[in-house]
Amino acid sequence: MTSDSGAAEPGTIEPIPAAPAAPAEGPLDPAALDRLFRAARTHNAWQDRPVADRTLEALYDLVKWGPTSANASPARFLFVRTAEGKAKLKEALSAGNIEKTMTAPVTAIVATDMEFHERLPFLFPHADARSWFAGNAALAEETALRNATLQGAYLILAARALGLDAGPMSGFDKEKVDALFLAGTGWKSNFLVNLGYGDPAGLFPRSPRLSFDEACRLL
């Protein structure tokens, strides 16, 4: 991102400098844990409050650091925020996802570059990682999907870390999104994430979670 001499676009989160010293030990403060996990919700209604393109750059500047296998970084993010883009996306949405997506300031299409290994000579320069995948389509596909999905989760949590709310969705016609947005790219849609500032009035009651004993084992 470049620095601006003029006034910032509304909805801009400016670049955030690195902390002056190494992070302190121990957990983040309770408010940060609430923001990221415990009080965060999947939003269905949105405040009339913009999200600037520079904020999307700040968002990617967090997401990109999340770990992936061999640093393969296979996710691609299409940030749909114009009326034209939203109208195109609408054609592919499940009925229940239309209104919240049309009213969200931005909808991210989290996509997977199925040819991600072509970037490995740059991304993983200390070994011939490209060759691990170029001749093994099954491993390449599995690696692409797993790691692009991890990066989609990083997007959700990075949005929350910036003070945005996220609304992830998988109820859409993937083939249609691929045809409308990704033709000729070698990218495939994975899931969608609405981004903006949620309106708590649109929240459903929170659903229960599995207990530690139901979901975990100590071995």
Return the residue of 26, 95, 138, 184 that touches a second copy, per CB under 8 A.
26
By C-beta, is 6 or 208 nearer to a second copy?
208
* Binding to a second copy, residues 171-200 (CB under 8 A): 181, 190-191
Please say whether the beta carbons of 45 and 198 come within 8 A. yes
Return the residue of 44, 73, 101, 189 that touches a second copy, per CB under 8 A.
73
Q: Which two tokens stand for residue 113?
A: 């570059």
Instruction: Output the smallest distance, CB 33 to a second copy, in A.
Output: 6
Residues in the chain: 219
Residue 209 binds to a second copy (criterion: CB under 8 A) = yes
Residue 22 binds to a second copy (criterion: CB under 8 A) = yes
Site track 77-116 with a second copy (rule: CB under 8 A), x = hit: xxxxxx--x-------------------------------
Please say whether the beta carbons of 91 and 169 come within 8 A. no
Tell me which H or E stretch contains 80: strand 75-80
Instruction: Output the smallest distance, CB 169 to a second copy, in A.
Output: 8
CA distances from 201 to 43, 198, 205 (A): 10, 9, 11
Please say whether the beta carbons of 8 and 55 come within 8 A. no
Residue 152 binds to a second copy (criterion: CB under 8 A) = yes
